[in-house]
Amino acid sequence: MGNTEGPVQSVILVSCPDQRGIVARVAGAIHEVGGNILDASQHTDTSSGMFLQRIHVSWPEDSPDPESIQEAMDELAQEFRMTWQIRWEQSLRKVAIFVSRQDHCLHDLLLLQRDGALNCRIPLIISNHQDLEDVAARFGIPFHHVPVEGSHDESAESAQLSLLKAHDVDLVVLARYMRVLGPNFVNQYPNRIINIHHSFLPAFAGGRPYHQAHAKGVKLIGATAHYATAELDAGPIIEQGVIRVSHRDMVSEMERKGRDIERTVLARAVRWHLEDRIVVHDGRAVVFS
């Protein structure tokens, strides 16, 4: 942490049962170990009485002694039955992108990462088709073709998991990956697999959502970025967007319009995850803006 010029920054996430004085005590503890709070957001879930907080801290070059910080926060944690984590800005997470044949979401993620807007490394792209190998090549990212047979191909999932482990992947992004991942896979990355579903969930879960939307005659179509869970298309919703359609739009036109929503919604969700803005509580994603 001493290899950058100027102050270093980190994000601390805490959650505990709501108690009087918690905000002041956490602020005080961070202050005592030398941190300067740049921004703090909190939310109390009134039904469960759970207090959630995201604190963006700046540490002067000479101060952030990780051990003292750990000690101070652990002490608080014990007193308030609190869980907490700290992420240092410089520690880049490793993201694997899964794709099938469509490249609009992939392109956006790769361009954003290249431009420094996604604070991560992308060590690999995995696909059940070979179509996007050249896109990966252009961006200099290793591409792994893992063919998938049938609806639950355990050997394919096992190969994918091996790749993820080998690259020590922190986050999986399903960028219009058109296969369902089994519970065994999903449960190994709780709240660390982000999927983009091309509808305004919970409307039109499952397959062919644009066909469903067209048949129903809706006037807006949407896209939903959510964490994948074992239950299909039912995980915590991170972000949603919509665009207007009319009777003039055939399914193919809906698909075209939808792509703009899909890629912006997915990119936003990935960005927020990497900025530690999301806390999942009680099946819902709290996003600190």
Instruction: Region of 158 please: left (phi>0), alpha (psi -120 to 50) or beta.
Output: alpha
Of the residues 103, 108, 170, 233, only one is catalytic, namely 233
Could you tell me whether strands 93-99 and 171-174 are parallel, antiparallel, or unpaired per DSSP bridges?
parallel
- Burial environment of residue 48 by CB neighbours within 10 A (0 to 12, 13 to 18, 19 or more): exposed
Q: Confirm whether 233 is a catalytic residue.
A: yes
Among 2, 78, 168, 247, binds a copy of itself (CB under 8 A): 247
Using CB under 8 A, count the residues that bind a copy of itself: 57
Return the structure tokens found at 219. 């006037």
Query: For residue 209, which of 223, 199, 196 has the smallest C-alpha distance?
Result: 199
Among 73, 103, 198, 258, binds a copy of itself (CB under 8 A): 103
Nearest approach, Cβ of residue 148 and a copy of itself (Å): 24
Footprint of a copy of itself on 37-96 (CB under 8 A): 37-46
**Is 209 near a copy of itself (CB under 8 A)?**
no
Among 222, 229, 258, 262, binds a copy of itself (CB under 8 A): 222
Cα separation, 102 vs 223, in Å, equals 15
DSSP assigned state of 210:
H
Give the torsion sign (CA, 280, 282, 283, 286).
negative
Nearest approach, Cβ of residue 184 and a copy of itself (Å): 25
**Is 207 near a copy of itself (CB under 8 A)?**
no
- Burial environment of residue 75 by CB neighbours within 10 A (0 to 12, 13 to 18, 19 or more): exposed
- With CB under 8 A as the contact rule, which of the stretches 71-79, 125-133, 172-180, 277-285 interacts with a copy of itself? 277-285
The binding site for a copy of itself (CB under 8 A) comprises: 20-21, 23-25, 27-28, 30-31, 36-46, 103-104, 107, 111, 117, 138, 200-204, 216-220, 222, 236-242, 246-248, 250, 256, 260, 264, 283-287, 289
Residues identified as active-site: 233
